[in-house]
């Protein structure tokens, strides 16, 4: 392996295609997990990290030559980006390439939750259609619903466009209204929840969004209300959600993300009025390949042209020379 290739640390697991493509231009250094205590003296010259998961401040501090962290995913809540910015380390993510896939999944999860299609399929597979008769009518439907989007970035907009085609009303809450849209805007999440019966969460997982979908918001959503979360589990107060689902404060929930993944609370698993997915919104081969390519292309662009392709807004950096 040539000593001149920049060394890229890959802590933990990452999409196979990243590992296949990196060796064309880099030397890969593997680490079992993103733990600074596992860093050894021979990793001192590592210049980049490719990661699907966490990068704590301590790992950055343990790698004095670190210039770039290429995050596999549009959400980069696992990376201590403030610390990276303070050290002049650029962080990149994978926007755009997963937008349509995640929006597709959000609609699928919404319909599964309302129409109980996974349960209906189980009914058929268990032979109950022939034995016991038709599957029960779903109490909920998409017909006549008003959907509120909590977050209207690239993915939120793609979900909104799809919802328009389904003939339902769309409203949204973000920090400030977006120009050029006809969707109703609500300046607070609670007011949005009170105005709609279906809330789709697609905000990033940050301190500002942490547990913002709380008991008050769920109560405002109301007894016909349905919560869909394809953003981050940290945005929802999971205990409040379980209580709201158990007591009929809301009617149902569809969740692709959880607060402590991959662990899903037993109380949620026990509920009949939820549809649960193991964080698969972007998880098709074609989309994950595109995300993998963008991880590698960001690293290549940084070391060859001095500029990453998709740096996150907190680190709009160019490469230091010398
Ligand atoms: C992301 O890109 O942040 C998604 O959650 C990964 O599927």
Residue 10 DSSP one-character state: E
Residues 161 and 201 in one domain: yes
Classify residue 314: in a domain, yes or no: no
Choose the residue to mutate in 81, 102, 155, 285 for probing ligand 1, maximizing ligand atoms within 8 Å of C-beta: 102
Q: Over 70: is that where the pLDDT of 232 sits? A: yes
The phi, psi pair for 2, rounded to 5°, reads -65, 135
pLDDT tens, residue by residue, 121-164: 999 999 999 999 999 999 999 999 999 999 999 999 999 999 99
Confidence (pLDDT) at 34: 98
Q: In the chain, pLDDT over 70 holds for what percent of residues?
A: 98
Residues comprising the chain, all counted: 322
Nearest residue (CA) to ligand 1, atom 2: 73
pLDDT tens, residue by residue, 65-75: 999 999 999 99
- DSSP per-residue letters across 32-68: SSS-GGG--GGGTTEEEEEESS-B-HHHHHT-TT--E
Classify residue 123: in a domain, yes or no: yes
Compute the 3-state secondary structure of the chain and give helix, strand, coil in percent, each to the nearest 5: 35, 20, 45
Q: Over 80: is that where the pLDDT of 1 sits? A: no
Q: Note if 279 is an active site residue.
A: yes
Helices of type H across the chain: 16-21, 57-61, 81-86, 99-115, 117-125, 128-132, 154-165, 189-195, 215-221, 238-246, 266-269, 285-305
pLDDT average, residue stretch 37-52: 97
Classify residue 46: in a domain, yes or no: yes
pLDDT tens, residue by residue, 91-130: 999 999 999 999 999 999 999 999 999 999 999 999 999 9
Residues 259 and 245 in one domain: yes
The phi, psi pair for 213, rounded to 5°, reads -85, 90
- Which of 237, 173, 178, 228 minimizes the C-alpha distance to 201? 228
pLDDT average, residue stretch 278-299: 98
Residues 59 and 108 in one domain: no
- Which of 204, 212, 206 minimizes the C-alpha distance to 241? 212
Classify residue 35: in a domain, yes or no: yes
Residues 19 and 66 in one domain: yes
Choose the residue to mutate in 98, 101, 230, 284 for probing ligand 1, maximizing ligand atoms within 8 Å of C-beta: 98
Q: How many domains are there within the chain?
A: 2
Confidence (pLDDT) at 321: 67
Query: Which residues are CB-neighbours of 27 under 8 A, at least 6 positions away?
Result: 1, 2, 5, 6, 7, 8
Residues 147 and 272 in one domain: yes
Confidence (pLDDT) at 71: 98
Residue 15 sits in a domain whose CATH number is: 3.40.50.720
Residue 89 DSSP one-character state: -
Q: Note if 115 is an active site residue.
A: no
Query: pLDDT tier at 2 (50, 70, 90 boundaries)?
Result: very low
Residues 150 and 51 in one domain: no
> How far does residue 62's CA lie from ligand 1's centre (Å)?
27
Nearest residue (CA) to ligand 1, atom 4: 73
pTM (predicted TM-score): 0.96
Residues 232 and 291 in one domain: no
> How far does residue 73's CA lie from ligand 1's centre (Å)?
5
Confidence (pLDDT) at 4: 80
Q: Note if 32 is an active site residue.
A: no
Query: pLDDT tier at 3 (50, 70, 90 boundaries)?
Result: low
Q: Domain range spanning residue 47?
A: 7-96+285-305
Confidence (pLDDT) at 320: 73
> How far does residue 40's CA lie from ligand 1's centre (Å)?
30
For ligand 1, residues with CB inside 6 Å are 73-75, 98, 281-282
Nearest residue (CA) to ligand 1, atom 3: 75
Geometric angle at alpha carbon 317, from 311 and 320, rounded to 5°: 130
pLDDT tens, residue by residue, 156-209: 999 999 999 999 999 999 999 999 999 999 999 999 999 999 999 999 999 999
Residues 295 and 185 in one domain: no
Residues 120 and 187 in one domain: yes
Q: In the chain, pLDDT over 90 holds for what percent of residues?
A: 98
Residues 60 and 124 in one domain: no
Residues 89 and 103 in one domain: no
pLDDT average, residue stretch 251-280: 98
As a whole number of angstroms, the distance between CA 252 and CA 168 comes to 18
Residues 90 and 103 in one domain: no
């Amino acid at each position: 392996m040539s000593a001149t290739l920049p060394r890229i640390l890959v802590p933990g697991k990452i999409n196979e295609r990243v590992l296949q493509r990196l060796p064309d231009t880099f030397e890969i250094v593997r680490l079992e997990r993103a733990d600074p205590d596992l860093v050894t003296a021979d990793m001192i010259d590592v210049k980049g990290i490719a990661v699907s998961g966490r990068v704590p401040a301590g790992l950055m501090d343990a790698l004095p030559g670190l210039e770039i962290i290429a995050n596999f995913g549009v959400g980069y809540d696992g990376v201590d980006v403030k610390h990276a910015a303070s050290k002049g380390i650029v962080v990149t993510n994978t926007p755009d390439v997963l937008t349509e896939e995640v929006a597709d999944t959000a609609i699928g999860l919404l319909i599964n939750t309302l129409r109980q299609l996974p349960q209906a399929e189980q009914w058929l597979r268990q032979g109950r259609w022939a034995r016991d008769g038709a599957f029960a009518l779903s109490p909920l439907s998409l017909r006549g619903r008003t959907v509120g989007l909590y977050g209207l970035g690239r993915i939120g907009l793609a979900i909104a466009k799809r919802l328009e085609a389904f003939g339902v009303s769309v409203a949204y809450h973000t920090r400030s209204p977006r120009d050029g849209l006809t969707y109703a805007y609500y300046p607070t999440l609670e007011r949005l929840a009170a105005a709609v019966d279906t809330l789709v969460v697609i905000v990033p997982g940050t301190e500002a969004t942490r547990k913002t979908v709380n008991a008050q918001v769920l109560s405002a959503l109301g007894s016909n209300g349905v919560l869909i979360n394809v953003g981050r589990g940290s945005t929802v107060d999971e205990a409040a959600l379980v209580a709201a689902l158990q007591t009929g404060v809301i009617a149902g929930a569809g969740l692709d993300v959880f607060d402590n993944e991959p662990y899903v609370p037993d109380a949620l698993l026990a509920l009949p009025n939820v549809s649960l997915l193991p964080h698969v919104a972007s998880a098709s081969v074609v989309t994950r390949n595109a995300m993998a390519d963008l991880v590698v292309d960001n690293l290549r662009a940084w070391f060859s042209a001095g500029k990453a392709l998709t740096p996150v807004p907190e680190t709009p950096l160019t490469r230091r020379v010398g």
